Amino acid sequence: QRSCVACRRTDSKRELIRIVRTPQGVQIDPTGKLAGRGAYLCDARECWQKALKISALNRALKTTISIEE
């Protein structure tokens, strides 16, 4: 079970989208197996917008995410 960093909804790992911080930058991890610090988001657009607005991804990944990323 994993939690969305924006809405805090708990779901299985496969139902949420993993975002991972790697040495190359922040990216979406479709396999769920990339090495690096990860955070999970729902598939809903509202969750992505909220996560950026409240800096939830910045805190979860312990980095600063630019709009381009």
Q: What is the mean pLDDT of each run of 10 residues along the chain (69 residues)?
A: 96 95 92 94 95 93 82
* H or E stretch at 27: strand 25-29
Reported as half-sphere exposure (CB side, CA atoms, 13 A), residue 8 has a value of 0
Q: How many angstroms separate the CA atoms of 4 and 17, rounded?
A: 9
pTM of the prediction? 0.89
Whole-number pLDDT of residue 54: 93
Whole-number pLDDT of residue 66: 75
Q: Which positions ≥6 away from 68 have C-beta within 8 Å? A: none
Whole-number pLDDT of residue 65: 85
Whole-number pLDDT of residue 1: 94
Dihedrals phi, psi of 11, to nearest 5 degrees: -155, 175
